[in-house]
Copies of this chain bind each other. A is one copy, B any other.
Amino acid sequence: MPRRKPTIHDVAARAGVSKSLVSLALRGSEKVSVDSRLAIEAAAAELGYRPNAAARSLADRRSRAIGVLVLDFNNPIFAQILDGVQQVAGAQGYNTLIVTGSADPIRQESELARLLEFQVEGIILIAHRLTANTIMRISDERPIAIITRRDVTGPNIDTVSNDDRSGAIMAVEYLVSLGHSRIAHITGGDNQIARDRELGYLDAMTSAGLPQHINVIPGDFTDSRGYRAAQELLTAAPDTTAAFVANDLSALGAMAAIEELGRQVPEDFSVIGYDGMALATLRTLNLTTVQQPLIEMGRLAVTNLLKRIDNPNTQPVEMRVDSQLHIAGTCGPPKT
């Protein structure tokens, strides 16, 4: 097949009309006569013509693509969010360029640059690690929708997030209501989401009159770190009866350690996570958690983004979605 790809000119020649008419016809304009339309469609089909998106994007200065930067694929919650993103973007005829840029902010920035060169019309950030500065600079060029974080705002930036602090409070209050008082917290590290959840923990412990039982073990949102943190916890404070873990992935790791150390969940120890990861709520794991509407968050973010693309000068939207306590099988009353 040494022949090059057919272009609109080839179709025009074959159908015996001008390239302009082909362009018009293939985009479904009604000012094309029926005869011409049929001839053109036939010619296009016979040649196996495919419009060249690069040329189109150049000519009408629209790429019909949005870029998505996602922290990584290891945490399945990002896949859930992406699912929502793709649903809406696809339905609106937008392509989705997904890049996953390591946790390294420098590399994330160069991934972003690639997206921008592709002329994406907007950008979605899922759990990014970029500085406020970078984001502000980029948002000058393109609208941005940020999912899960809300610490950076600007005229061209929409956000969709849940209220991590009150979610955390909900989690701790639930443990308290079951009768726990020695409740520890395994954190998600040094980032805004983790900090908010930690603050919620501190708040809730204090207002429950349990400040003396506050116990914070540093983590980093990964399962392996959750595992190690739980080991530390049970070694250093064996009388702890429950833990609020910063996210589901870590909570799964923590549960593994807890059971390995001979404690049954939830009989001997209660664990509550955060996120609503699909697999964790699967009956096998049956993790009690604070569930975010992940797919919905993805959908909302694209919806806002596309609106802003169509109409750049609207007020920035900061959406707060409601998370809810998903009560399953990993929490129970403390052993007395």
List chain B residues, Cβ under 8 A from A117: 50-53
Q: Which A104-123 residues sit within 8 Å CB-CB of chain B?
A: 111, 113-114, 116-119
CB-contact partner of A119 in B53, B227, B259, under 8 A: B53
List chain B residues, Cβ under 8 A from A34: none
Complexed CA–CA distance, A285 and B73 (Å): 20
Q: How far is the CB of A231 from chain B (nearest CB, A)?
A: 11
List chain B residues, Cβ under 8 A from A223: 279, 282
Segment of A172-180, A200-208, A212-220, A250-258 engaged in the interface with chain B: A250-258
A284 contacts chain B at the CB level, 8 A cutoff: yes
List chain B residues, Cβ under 8 A from A259: 284
A319 contacts chain B at the CB level, 8 A cutoff: no
Closest residue of B by beta carbon distance from A89: B99
Q: Mark A27-51, 1 if CB is under 8 A from B, else 0.
A: 0000000000000000000001011
List chain B residues, Cβ under 8 A from A74: 79, 83, 278
Q: How far is the CB of A141 from chain B (nearest CB, A)?
A: 8
Complexed CA–CA distance, A257 and B53 (Å): 49
B63 adjacent to A73 (CB under 8 Å): no
A111 adjacent to B90 (CB under 8 Å): yes
A324 contacts chain B at the CB level, 8 A cutoff: no
B73 adjacent to A82 (CB under 8 Å): yes
Q: How far is the CB of A150 from chain B (nearest CB, A)?
A: 24
Cβ contacts A to B, 16 pairs, < 8 Å: A50-B141, A54-B57, A58-B58, A65-B118, A72-B83, A73-B82, A76-B79, A76-B279, A83-B100, A95-B118, A96-B97, A252-B279, A253-B284, A260-B283, A284-B285, A285-B285
Residues of A within 8 A of B (CB): 1, 5, 48, 50-55, 57-58, 63, 65, 72-74, 76, 79-80, 82-83, 86, 90, 95-100, 111, 113-114, 116-119, 140-141, 223, 227, 252-253, 255-257, 259-260, 278-279, 282-286
Known: A53-B119, A86-B100. 5 other contacts (CB 8 A): A50-B117, A50-B141, A74-B79, A82-B100, A96-B99
